[in-house]
Amino acid sequence: MKTMAVTLLKTVKQKLALISTLVIFTLLSNVGIGQVNPPAPPAPKSAIVGCTPESGTCPQGSFSASFSSGAYYSGGRTSTSAGAVWRYANVTNIGGLNVNATIKIDTIYNATVTNFDDDNAKDQNNVSVAKWFAPRIAPDNATTSSKRGYVQFTITFYKDNVGNGYTETAELLGLNYTHYDIDGASGSGYTFREIGMVQSVSQLVNVAANAKTELVPYNYTIADKNWTGFASSTSVRNGLTTCSEVVASFKYNPLNNPVSSMSIRMGYEYVRTSGNGYGNEARLYASNFSCFNFPQETTLPVKLLSFGGNYQNKISQLNWEVVNENNFSHYEIERSTNGISYLKAGDVNALGANEDKRQYKFSDDLSAVSGDVFYYRLKMVDIDGKAKYSNIIIIRRDQQNINGLSIAPNPVSNGMTTVRFSSVGNQSVELKVIDLSGRIVFRQQNQVFKGTNSLSLNNLDKLSPGIYILQLNDGVSVSNSRFSIMK
């Protein structure tokens, strides 16, 4: 009898362990490993009465894409869960080249995808917008507590005539992404706001809204990835509206540095003060891959090209490079010792209106500041008071073992390049090549020596053309450098 009881207890424990594992797996599959709650967006603007239509025509060299009749292909537990990949055939034709595309659900955070792409969607004039990418996304039970959530998608373009049509990525110039109908809602004791963002990469050259807009700029950095976009007001509009007041435009480099994929976030902010809350009603989001011209376009402030720093003699030496300082005011340098709360460390005035590159430096005296790790960010403010934040960098008091990481040639065109850096001693290091989705696509280990080292990276021709991050890890600190691969 005792043996039977022990056996039964073991069986129960095993089943409970299995159930626990399945629950954890389910949570990770739907939320994504290591996801962080985004910060709150700026306060909403008041709603604007009326609808201002788009103005002008698309610039020469731009193109449009049709995302209709998509088909679930693979990944995810279901076709609307994290990891699911959908395929779209013949989304556009450029110079006689047919282009296919995939859309993948990277992450689902505090949300549910109820319809991956609604081809029955219509705009405010009851006209079909089947060619738009229009998912239906519901908040994850936004009832008793305030919350923020999003669904992250990655769109990748492929050459139709290579392999199975989804084998080799297509490098595109003149890509424009438009997020329509960024509106909100309000009810008894709550407000609800939609949020539209893209990952900020080197090819993204213009993020814009109309001068007369209900949207507010919204930017944040999580896990070294920068996201930029807009948050809505708390008022709703009928249909999938194309009114300029609730439209955001994201334009990529039309001249060089092509793009083959982009990541977007369609999200929300729910704020509850009383009552039963918003619930989990699905909202229809809408985006399109073609240009959108505002009657009076207003762009976000200055374009930040780089931001870095180092620690010397009890001083953080910060430096950054920018372009397009037209209508720009100043930089506010903010410092944190915990990566959460920031204090202003100083100001630097802009050098004046100029479309050329500008370099800036700032010295932050830490002799009277406690702590060993410091987080820095730039608040970039234009003359109208609009502002956005840079990515966050980390400065340590202790000297890093690796300094001066560089790559040449860059871009890499023949599959080989050389990495150079300085080491304070003999040690082992690991090199990783990471794509923009965070996937490690190449790695190697080397023994290095005190002084200047040069390491060769070979076989990079096996990687697809695009932008990558080289990461050098010596077991104590990590150094990163961006580079690109061309065919």
Per-residue model confidence (pLDDT) at position 401: 65
Q: Select from 228, 227, 285 the least CA-distant residue to 103.
A: 285
Instruction: Measure the CA–CA gap between 366 and 129, rounded to whole angstroms.
Output: 56
Q: Decide if pLDDT at 1 tops 60.
A: no
Residues 21-57 have pLDDT tens digits of 333 333 333 444 446 788 899 889 999 999 999 987 7
What confidence score (pLDDT) does residue 96 get? 83
Q: What pLDDT was estimated at residue 198?
A: 95
Alpha-carbon distance 292 to 321, whole Å?
29
In tens, the pLDDT along 339-372 reads 777 889 999 988 876 667 889 999 999 999 988 8
Give the model's pLDDT for residue 15: 43
| Contact (CB, 8 A) for 233 and 193 | yes
Outline where DSSP puts E strands in 232-273.
248-252, 261-272
Q: Which of 153-167, 207-221, 224-238, 262-276 has the highest mean pLDDT?
A: 153-167
For each of the domains in the chain, give its residue range(s) and CATH number, in order of start: 71-297 (no CATH), 303-396 (2.60.40.10), 402-485 (2.60.40.3080)
Average pLDDT over residues 79-102: 94
Residues 360-407: pLDDT tens digits? 999 999 999 988 888 898 988 887 677 778 877 878 776 566 677 888
Q: How far apart are CA 436 and CA 169, in angstroms?
A: 14
Mean pLDDT calculated for residue range 240-268: 90
pLDDT attached to residue 355: 63
The reported pLDDT for the residue numbered 25 is 36
Q: What is the mean pLDDT of the chain?
A: 84
Residue 164 has pLDDT above 90, yes or no: yes
Q: What pLDDT is stored for residue 381 in this prediction?
A: 84
The predicted structure's pLDDT at residue 270: 93
Q: What are phi and psi of 370, to 5 degrees?
A: -85, 160
Q: How many CB atoms lie within 10 A of CB 236?
A: 16
**How far apart, in Å, are the Cα atoms of 64 and each of 141, 176, 282?**
36, 8, 28
Task: Give whole-number Cα distances, 367 to 364, 396, 397, in Å.
Answer: 9, 13, 11
pLDDT above 90 as % of the chain: 38
Place of tokens 């060089």: 256
The tens digit of pLDDT for each residue in 409-420 reads 888 888 888 888
CA-CA distances (angstroms) from residue 289 to 212, 257, 271, 412? 23, 18, 31, 29
What is the distance between the terminal CA atoms of the chain, rounded to a whole angstrom? 72
Q: Distance between CA atoms of 269 and 149, rounded to whole angstroms?
A: 7
Would you give the distance in Å from CA 161 to the centre of its chain? 30
Please compute Rg for the chain using Cα positions: 24
Report the C-alpha gap between 352 and 10 in whole angstroms.
73
What is the pLDDT averaged over residues 2-19? 44
Task: Pick the more confident residue, 225 or 391.
Answer: 225
φ and ψ at residue 357, rounded to 5 degrees: -70, 145
- Given a cut of 60, whether residue 19 has pLDDT beyond it is no
Query: Per-residue pLDDT tens for 433-446?
Result: 988 777 888 888 88
> Any idea which residue has 């976009």 for tokens?
229
Question: How would you classify residue 475: left for phi > 0, otherwise alpha for psi between -120 and 50, otherwise beta?
Answer: left
Tokens 């039309």 belong to which residue? 254
* Range 316-321 average pLDDT: 89
* pLDDT, tens digit (0-9, with 9 covering 90-100), for 275-284: 777 778 899 9
Could you tell me which residue, 321 or 263, shows the higher pLDDT?
Answer: 263
Confidence (pLDDT) at 165? 95
Q: What is the pLDDT of residue 29?
A: 37
At CA 431, angle to CA 423 and CA 372, rounded to 5? 55
463, 415 contact by CB (below 8 A): no
